[in-house]
Structure 1
Amino acid sequence: MSRLNHLKSKWLSLTIESLRINDGVANRWFSTLESYYTPTPVRCYHNFNHIDELLTLHDRYAPVLKTPNICQLAIWFHDVVYDPTKHDNEDKSIEMFKSFAEESHLDGVTVDRVSEYIDATKHHTKIPTTNTDQDYFLDMDISILGREPNVYLEYSKNIRKEYIHVPEQQYRVGRSLILEKFKELGESLYKTNEFKRLYAKNAVDNLQSEIDRLSDESQPI
């Protein structure tokens, strides 16, 4: 099965089978998601590949989630609007989710919770929460930071491609500042014990490696 067909199957299972959404609405919205998440020069990382990775993690941790459908909806919509030159992507993504929710007749609690999850991605590590499901969602979203070094390297290159409009020297400085803030958090970068154990050490190492590359102008980024 192709990745696209796999994703469509996951989407239809969530929307039609679990949420009882009209199949016409569900299929139409998958086409919308596909049109937004298709890889482009500004979506070298934030595309359907990223969504697929998060859905795989969602399946792994679904047994410990209290409301897995809410978490999965947040995964599908959290990056649906993505323009690296803008600063309102999360807000626009929430607006699009609410359009889907209205057409799908989702209940108000679901709409509010999914919107909160998406909004929390604005300031990942600064969000204090007692919502364990949201913690898992946020950890899933930055799990890439703690992946194998070669996977992280490819991720870092794709982020640079998305921000190719930023001059190289400016990118090196700005990106380094962001990564330093993440690295300083150490284990606290992740909120759940599982992700701390599995990803925290690798994340710190990966972040330091990229910081070193960014500070060495002889190193390509």
Structure 2
Amino acid sequence: MLRDEMWEEAARVVRGDVRGLLFLRDDLVRRWAEPHRGYHDLRHLDEVMAALVVLRPAAIDTDTEWASVVLAAWFHDAVYDVESPGDNERLSADLARTTLSRSGIQSEILDATCALVEASAAHDVTERRGPQAAFHDADLWILSAPQDRFDGYCADVRREYSAVPDADYVTGRTAILRPFVERASVYRTDHARLHWEAAARRNLRRELDRLADVG
């Protein structure tokens, strides 16, 4: 499985405690498979990993950068609680720092991984290449997905927040999605701008129209 292969490659680069890293990966899989998750599940993790592979040749220069991006992907939604969405990225970064430290990961990669996880809260990246740009775009690949998959993603997110009344959900979700349309570009890397941008804008406008109809 691709996500396991990428974990193993990152583990070879960081040269941490092999047994400890294996147990850590198993714990992360358990977290990603929690039943309350709709969109933020193992499928999302797999899609982020696949997108990173596509972006790697033109955006990532070193094995160390690659290891930090892969670890960030594994950790970025490891903590996911719909009751306190503003804390998820911070708590996921804290989990990464604590558990990776125990496995002997060098501080350079540890700091880079945690910074990437924390940055996923705002999706506010200016770099056009490098780990920040690649991870930003991979995490947002879903916005450019084929229509059926994008619509499924929207339904999955709504299911995660099924306890939220429609009016409140429309307000909150619109506030999250509209800024992407208002940006000069949804994505940062050249590859994503060329190959994903147009589809993402079509999908976002369609979802914003649907939300407006509900509201």
The TM-score with structure 2 as length reference comes to 0.90
Q: Which one-letter code corresponds to 1:92 in the other structure?
A: L
Matched, 1:120 2:119: yes
Unaligned runs of 5+ in 1: none
Aligned to 1:209: 206
Is contact 1:172-1:214 (8 Å) kept? yes
Q: Which residue does the alignment assign to 2:80?
A: 82
Which secondary structure state, in structure 1, belongs to the residue aligned with residue 120 of structure 2?
helix
Letter in 1 for 2:43: N
Which secondary structure does the structure 2 equivalent of 1:88 belong to?
helix
Confirm whether residue 198 of structure 1 aligns to residue 195 of structure 2. Answer: yes
Distance apart, 1:39 and its partner CA: 4.6
Which amino acid in 1 is paired with 2:35? T
Structure 1 residue 153: deviation in Å? 0.2
Q: Deviations over 1:29-65 (max 9, x none)?
A: 1221011100523x11111111111111222233331
**What residue is the counterpart of 1:159 in the other structure?**
157
Shift in CA distance, 10/178, structure 1 to aligned 2, threshold 3 Å: closer
Q: Distance in 2 between matches of 1:175 and 1:52?
A: 24
Structure of greater relative contact order (alpha carbons < 8 Å, 6+ residues apart): 2
Looking at structure 1, the residues matched to 111 and 38 of structure 2 have their Cα atoms a distance apart, in angstroms, of: 30
- What displacement does 1:9 show? 4.2
Q: Deviations over 1:95-114 (max 9, x none)?
A: 11011221111111111111
Q: Is the Cα–Cα contact under 8 Å of residues 39 and 48 in structure 1 kept in the other structure?
A: no
> Distance between the aligned counterparts of 1:129 and 1:54, measured in 2?
19
Which residue of the partner structure matches residue 145 of structure 2? Answer: 147
- Partner Cα distance (1:180, 1:130) in 2: 22
1:47 paired with 2:41, answer yes
Query: SS of 1:46's equivalent?
Result: coil
Supply the distance in 2 between the matched residues of 1:208 and 1:49 (Cα, whole angstroms): 24
Shift of 1:131: 5.9
* Deviation digits for residues 155-204 of structure 1 (CA, Å, limit 9, x no counterpart): 00001011112111211232123222221115x11111110111111111
- Aligned 8 A contact 2:129 2:189 in 1: no
1:8 aligns with 2:4: yes
- The residue aligned with 2:52 is 58
> What SS does structure 1 have at the residue aligned with 2:4?
helix
Distance 1:105 1:83, change over 3 A: same
CA distance in 1, matches of 2:143, 2:14: 32
CA separation in 1, counterparts of 2:189 and 2:56? 14
Contact 2:134–2:189, Cα closer than 8 Å, also in 1: yes
1:70 paired residue number: 68
CA RMSD of aligned residues (A): 1.9
CA distance in 1 between counterparts of 2:136 and 2:8 reads 24
Is 2:101 the partner of 1:102? yes
What is the aligned length? 210
